Amino acid sequence: MPRNFVIPINHSDASKWAIEWASKNVIRQDDHVTLVHVLEGNYASIRKPINSEHDGVKEASVFVSSLTQLLHDCHVEVIYLEGERQIELLQYISDTKPDLVIIGSRSLRGVKKFVLKSTSHYLADHSPVPVMILHSNDQ
């Protein structure tokens, strides 16, 4: 039976690492993977998907395209949302209830973790489904 995964992405190496690791170790043929990219900025657009004509989507499309190529033999969907990253991701996860959320971490520590708002730890604390946080070996 196919499983459903959500992988939040941004332009970081941590996102690429999460997809690479998941494709080798977790994701199987016929699984469904949703890559969710939140463009921060216009908080008035909370919980509204963004169409492909949005400037942020155009800028992200090359990066996202390279990430989707890392996922073999599974169904991949890309969702773009706009708003505050943590809030939008949590709402999307709560609405769709995937089997697992897989997220890369920049391995923030101390004050940086507090100031930069670790999305991975926020999701681990608030998500209604399990969250797997992946730390790159070289971080």
Q: Report the interhelical angle of 55-68 vs 13-25 (nearest 10°).
A: 40
pLDDT band at 132 (very low <50, low <70, confident <90, very high): very high
CB contact set of 80 (below 8 Å; sequence gap of 6+): 37, 38, 39, 49, 50, 54, 56, 57, 60
Task: State pLDDT tens for residues 46-85.
Answer: 445 555 555 566 666 666 777 777 787 789 998 888 889 9
Q: What is the pLDDT of residues 101-127, one digit of tens each?
A: 999 987 655 555 544 468 998 999 999
Largest CA distance in the chain: 43
Rounded Cα distance, 123 and 112, in Å? 17
Q: Give the pTM.
A: 0.81
Each residue of 28-46: pLDDT tens digit?
Answer: 999 999 999 998 765 544 4
